């Protein structure tokens, strides 16, 4: 079972994505934590431009640094991977 802090962080990440990309027709609870953000299965329908905006927004909001393109690709895989990255960076 995930702890409350992780669940809150994931909700915060979902809200950040919706706000950053100005998506008004989807609620945070409609976004699946484990579905890849850039897959056709994802409700958000994101593209590579969205990815760039999200990297900047995540870095700014959570005061973390996503160093290179390969890292950003793995971090932005899903809500779960973004949350894991933020938690890991905060522990360092």
Contacts of 52 (CB under 8 A, 6+ apart): none
CB 82 within 8 A of CB 45: no
pTM (predicted TM-score) = 0.92
Give tens-digit pLDDT for 11-43: 999 999 999 999 999 999 999 999 999 998 899
Note the pLDDT tens digit of each residue in 61-79: 999 999 888 899 999 999 9
The domain spans of the chain are 4-91
CATH class of the domain comprising 4-91: mainly alpha
Using CA of residue 20, residue 25, residue 30, residue 34, what is the dihedral sign? negative
């Amino acid at each position: 079972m995930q702890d409350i802090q992780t669940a809150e962080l994931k909700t915060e990440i979902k809200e950040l994505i919706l706000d950053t990309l100005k998506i008004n027709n989807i609620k945070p609870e409609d976004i699946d934590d484990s579905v890849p953000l850039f897959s056709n299965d994802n409700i958000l329908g994101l593209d590579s431009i969205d990815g760039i905006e999200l990297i900047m927004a995540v870095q700014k909001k959570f005061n973390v640094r996503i160093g290179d393109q390969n890292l950003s690709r793995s971090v932005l895989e899903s809500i779960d991977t973004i949350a894991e990255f933020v938690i890991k960076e905060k522990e360092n």
